[in-house]
Amino acid sequence: MLPKVRKRNGSIEEYIPEKLIVSINKNGVPISAAREIERSIRGEVEGKDYVSTLELAYHALTRVRKYGEPYFQSWIYYDINHKRRRTDFEIEKLLDKKL
């Protein structure tokens, strides 16, 4: 069973694998690798009732970084310059996890 996703604004939505795959792929990770990363994340969150978008970002970013530092940096750059946020800092502050 896939969890519901609690978004930053507090709303709840279904876990949609394609959304995570697209987010990973947008940062240059090949689509086949993005699918593998999503499957690995899904394996970690299956069975939970809820997962936050920040937790999903943590799982994605740690795997993307292992795939290649340029992909990780691309994600951070996009967050800063297009979404006007620092997901990396939020993860460290709110989840108390290092990337």
Q: Which helix (H) or strand (E) holds 12?
A: strand 12-14
Res 50 pLDDT > 90: yes
DSSP characters for 29-89? --HHHHHHHHHHHHHHHTT-SEEEHHHHHHHHHHHHHHH-HHHHHHHHHHIIIII---HHH
Confidence category of residue 94, pLDDT binned at 50, 70, 90:
confident
Structure confidence by residue, pLDDT tens digits, 57-76: 999 999 999 999 999 999 99
Structure confidence by residue, pLDDT tens digits, 12-46: 999 999 999 999 999 899 999 999 999 999 999 99
